[in-house]
Amino acid sequence: MMRKILVFDTTLRDGEQVPGAKLNMYEKVEVAKQLKKLQVDIIEAGFPASSQGDFLAVQEVAKKVGQSDNIIITALARAVKSDIDAVYQSVKLAQNPLIHIVLGTSDIHVEKKFGKSKDQVLNIGVDAVKYAKTLLPAVQYSTEDASRAEFEYLWSTIEAVVKAGATIINVPDTVGFAVPEEFGYLIHRLNDRLKNLDDKVLLSVHCHNDLGMATANTLAAVKNGADKIEVTINGIGERAGNTALEEVVMALKTRSNVYNAVTNINTKEIMNTSRLVSNFMGLDVQVNKAITGDNAFAHSSGIHQDGLLKSRDAYEIISPSDVGLDDMELVLTARSGRHAVKNALEQLGLMPADEKDFEGVFTKFLEIADTKKEVYNHDLYILVENYHALHGNGCERQNMSQHFYELEDFQAIINSTFPSASVKLSKGNESITHSATGSGPVDALYSAITAICGLELELLEYNISSVSRGKEAFGKVKIKVSHKGKSYIAKATDTDIMKASVLAYINAVNSVVVDSL
Ligand code: KIV
Ligand code: ZN
């Protein structure tokens, strides 16, 4: 029998503590709605005593998202009456409200932060729980900095607050100091005593990633009896962040033989949630981030692409569709081997019948890949056509390149009143020019290109960044044809940031065109 692990999401509280990541009320409610779709069990919506804005946002989440049997809404309070009142007032309209109280337990916190005796701090915690219980039946107590606390004092605190009515005990590794073996053992000992004291009280963990071990520590805790995990989307949070929801959930699912535990998470909503949080908070996801990074399901080495094409399980432990992605991505680069290029050509109906011709096409492919970094399907059409034109033989799909757009020239006018742009593209033998205004120069450029292509496109993501320390800018866009499900991601580099942005958009538009051929 699999154990059920409750997922407590603190993206809107610990995650929001990331500098610059503060959300407005609308954004908070949208993220909370998405967390509900993801089927988290508990949403920590904020820290209402911190500001009137946060109080109102938590209240809105309780009203709009908390009207269901399947979700608990909570918010954080220090162990003081005014904080507990603020939490109560903001979450009370939810169907299942919970008060979350935090108070330090390590000697460092007790002596240096509070300047009090251990007994005094313990009593403050007990009084806070007793007060919270007069307001709501469900109260979580977080023993802050538990991983650095003296064990017997930590246990005395837990015993006392459980006797005062706490229904969940949360054990935080507040500064990410713990290591898996030690944290697992701590949870094992606490769980043993807690279940003897009151087996209805849940044991929870909350880990930080300062040593890169938040996921490992959380999993060690689950293995040792934790009933509930505290996590954030993309692992965002204070300093190096919190445990990433997607990592623990997918580890439990993929290695259920080791953990024998399940969550209620709808894993197909993981990517949607990750992107929404990243966009609203303006926090890019590291490209190689486990599960939600851009490259997590992209394969570029020739050896791997060859193996995957023979049998996917050679290099794939999670099906991309399980986290809400369309499919794995075989990125064509200079390191892709013949097998991957053949596969791409076959899918496009471009595979030369003659092996000698394929070798010629492959040599050309490598030349383009060396200059372009990533080769797209429209590049393959052009490449194959040019090859056949040069060698005087026909190919099955001729004159496809006339459908693709190429940049001839562009101009962007940057000013605060009327940002505008003109773009000249070629399509086959045609040259088309269009001008547009926009909310900024990139918006104006994209509007002009969209008008030239006559497609109804939605820009889902746009990003410009530097390529390591060089002078090149790296543009990345994600677009969608309005009213259609599929989205297209494309990239481009150039020393001019506007040109990198334009080329990335044209690459994406050409990917749309390829699909319509
Ligand atoms: O890291 C921490 O200790 C916290 C508590 C409020 C749980 O965020
Ligand atoms: Zn924390």
Q: Is the pLDDT of residue 405 over 70?
A: yes
Atom of ligand 1 nearest to the CA of 14: 8
Instruction: Give 196-238 as a DSSP string.
Output: HH-TTSEEEEEEB-TTS-HHHHHHHHHHTT--EEEEBGGG--S
With beta carbons less than 8 A apart as the criterion, state whether 241 and 255 touch: no
Q: What is the per-residue pLDDT across 311-337, written as a single tens digit (0 to 9) for each?
A: 999 999 999 999 999 888 899 999 999
CA of 7 to the centre of ligand 2 (A): 15
Atom of ligand 1 nearest to the CA of 242: 1
Burial label, 178 (beta-carbon count in 10 A; 0-12, 13-18, 19+): buried
102 lines ligand 1 (CB under 6 A): yes
CA of 14 to the centre of ligand 1 (A): 8
Percent of the chain at pLDDT exceeding 90? 84
Q: Is the pLDDT of residue 398 over 70?
A: no
Q: Give the model's confidence band at 432: pLDDT under 50 very low, under 70 low, under 90 confident, else very high.
A: very high
Tokens of 324: 């809400």
CA of 262 to the centre of ligand 1 (A): 24
Q: How far apart are CA 496 and CA 81, in angstroms?
A: 56
CA of 207 to the centre of ligand 2 (A): 7
With beta carbons less than 8 A apart as the criterion, state whether 122 and 156 touch: yes
CA of 398 to the centre of ligand 2 (A): 59
172 lines ligand 1 (CB under 6 A): yes
**Ligand 2 ion: Cβ-proximal residues, 5 Å cutoff:** 14
Among 142, 161, 232, 239, the mutation site with the greatest number of ligand 1 atoms within 8 A of its Cβ is 142
Contacts of 475 (CB under 8 A, 6+ apart): 462, 463, 464, 491, 492, 493, 494, 497, 500, 501, 502, 503, 504, 505
Count of other CB atoms within 10 angstroms of residue 427: 16
Residue nearest to atom 2 of ligand 1 (CA): 174
Q: Is the pLDDT of residue 409 over 80?
A: yes
Q: What is the per-residue pLDDT across 154-168, written as a single tens digit (0 to 9) for each?
A: 999 999 999 999 999
Q: Is the pLDDT of residue 397 over 70?
A: no
Q: Is the pLDDT of residue 467 over 80?
A: no
Q: Are strands 261-262 and 430-437 parallel, antiparallel or unpaired?
A: unpaired
Sequence spans of domains, the chain: 3-281, 298-401, 404-516
CATH no. for 3-281 = 3.20.20.70
Q: What is the per-residue pLDDT across 482-495, written as a single tens digit (0 to 9) for each?
A: 877 778 889 998 99
The confidence score (pLDDT) of residue 517 equals 81
Q: How far apart are CA 352 and CA 455, in angstroms?
A: 31
142 lines ligand 1 (CB under 6 A): yes
The confidence score (pLDDT) of residue 327 equals 86
Residue nearest to atom 1 of ligand 1 (CA): 174
CA of 192 to the centre of ligand 2 (A): 24
The confidence score (pLDDT) of residue 498 equals 96
Query: 225 vs 493, which has greater pLDDT?
Result: 225
Ligand nearest to the CA of 100: 1
CATH no. for 404-516 = 3.30.160.270
The confidence score (pLDDT) of residue 393 equals 67
336 lines ligand 1 (CB under 6 A): no
Compute the mean pLDDT over every residue in the chain, rounded to the nearest whole number.
94
Q: What is the per-residue pLDDT across 56-115, written as a single tens digit (0 to 9) for each?
A: 999 999 999 999 999 999 999 999 999 999 999 999 999 999 999 999 999 999 999 999
With beta carbons less than 8 A apart as the criterion, state whether 116 and 143 touch: no
With beta carbons less than 8 A apart as the criterion, state whether 259 and 247 touch: no
Among 144, 157, 243, the mutation site with the greatest number of ligand 1 atoms within 8 A of its Cβ is 144
Match 């490449």 to its residue by tokens. Answer: 383
User: Average of pLDDT values for 210-219?
Assistant: 98
Q: What is the per-residue pLDDT across 129-182, written as a single tens digit (0 to 9) for each?
A: 999 999 999 999 999 999 999 999 999 999 999 999 999 999 999 999 999 999
Q: Is the pLDDT of residue 470 over 80?
A: no
Among 9, 50, 74, 76, the mutation site with the greatest number of ligand 1 atoms within 8 A of its Cβ is 76
